[in-house]
Amino acid sequence: MNQFSLPIFMSVGENLIEKLSSEVKRCLNYSSSSKIALITSAELLEIYSSVIENALLDLPEIEVVLVKKTSFDYAVELAKYISIKNIKIVIGFGGGAVLDTAKYASFVAKTSYIAVPTALSNEGLSSPIAVLYTQNARKKSFGSKIPEGIIIDTTIISKAPKTLLQAGVGDTASNYTALFDWKLDCAKNGTTVNDFSYMLSEMSFNALLNSPEKVLDSKEGITMVAKSLVISGISMEIAGNSRPCSGSEHLFSHAIDELYDLGIPHGILVALGSVAACVLQGRNKFILIDYLNAYGISVNPMKLGITQEHFVEAWLFAKETRKERFTILNTIDLSAALFNELYEELSEVCK
């Protein structure tokens, strides 16, 4: 049976950064001599320097560390620094790349970790996975840890580009197709899904799918997306792997990242992959298309700057990105003709 952890605390609301030090003291094994590292980027430090300073004013033993790279090697180097400096608590303040670096470094160094996101662009916020660059500038997923604490300040999140929040919504679409692929894998290998993990992943997606007011420019809308992403991350922690939220649609996203440098946010690529995977799974693609349209998210591959060649080659290469992962792609005849037709279909029906 998989052993899993859950966050000790999670807070979502306006101006919550102001309560950061009190949450550290209240929920973690903190003493006045506990050394703390706040890991962020130079850009974010410049924007939020006064906010950060006020939030951490009464935590005397704190050091600000600026992320130089978002690579595996750098994260390990940072973990060594954390260990040598005897830092007990790591606070990640930033977007996905900064948080994954802080998460993995704290995991290797065996310290407590608190996530304070400045954007909600994917499900990695609370997942036990860190995505870092490796050789040849390729991204790779590494087993990591979920945060002991999560503070989501909707005031800060509202200042991030809307496209990042849309990417977060897009990433939740993967749950719909990933759960289908997970069941396929279990049927092939004679295993069973983790019912509780499955339920949480499904709940994460359905909460946004069935929301009566699909808006991203309000505190309520941001709060709903935040909770949905956190629930998805916890579903992966309980499962002990990423199957509840990652299937063939993520293989497509990984393939695009490996083959091309298109600069499309992960969540948007995954959303496109989810719609395509839905077709391959023989399901109603308009469930996802209408869902994404309601949040103003386009998955028209042509409008995203994905050429037909990009699309076809990525899908044909997708299985190679994670050869051990069984999905719908292992059950159908993959051909250029199939994906050429799919590209044309999505370019026509997607806004």
**Do 167 and 122 touch, CB atoms closer than 8 A?**
yes
Instruction: Provide the pLDDT confidence category of residue 162 given band limits of 50, 70 and 90.
Output: very high
The pLDDT value recorded for residue 245 is 97
Q: Which helix (H) or strand (E) segment is 64 a member of?
A: strand 62-66
Q: Residue 120 corresponds to which tokens in the numbers above?
A: 């909600």
Cβ burial of 187 (10 Å; 0-12, 13-18, 19+) is exposed
Note the Cα 201 to chain centre separation in Å: 13
Rounded to an integer, what distance in angstroms lies between the CA atom of residue 34 and that of residue 51? 22
User: What is the longest distance spanned by two Cα atoms in the chain?
Assistant: 65
Cα distances from 279 to residues 12, 24, 180, 226, 275, in angstroms, run 36, 46, 12, 28, 7
Instruction: Please tell me the predicted confidence (pLDDT) of residue 304.
Output: 96
Token code pair at residue 164: 């990042």
Q: For residue 54, what pLDDT is reported?
A: 87
Confidence check: pLDDT of 32 > 90: no
Residues 328 and 279: beta-carbon distance below 8 Å: no
Selected from 3.40.50.1970, 3.10.290.10, 1.20.1440.130, 3.10.20.600, the CATH number assigned to the domain covering 9-157 reads 3.40.50.1970
d(CA 326, CA 342): 21
pLDDT of residue 212: 84
Q: Considering the domain delimited by 162-349, tell me its CATH architecture.
A: Up-down Bundle (1.20)
Share of the chain above pLDDT 90, in %: 81
- pTM, full prediction: 0.93
- Percent of the chain at pLDDT > 70 equals 99
CB 55 within 8 A of CB 21: yes
- Beta carbons within 8 Å of 147's beta carbon, 6+ residues apart: 7, 92, 103, 113, 114, 115, 125, 126
Q: Which residues pair with 90 in a beta bridge?
A: 37, 113
Domain segments of the chain as ranges: 9-157, 162-349
Supply the pLDDT for residue 238. Answer: 95
**219: which 2 tokens?**
């505190």
- At residue 1 the predicted structure's pLDDT band, cuts being 50, 70 and 90, is low
CA-to-CA distance for 351 and 348, rounded, in angstroms?
A: 8
What does DSSP assign to residue 175?
Answer: H
In this predicted model, what pLDDT tens digit does every residue of 231-285 receive, in sequence order?
Answer: 999 999 999 999 999 999 999 999 999 999 898 999 999 999 999 999 999 999 9
Give ∠ CA 135-140-144 in degrees, rounded to 5: 125
Q: Which two tokens stand for residue 272?
A: 């496109």
Average pLDDT value for the chain: 93
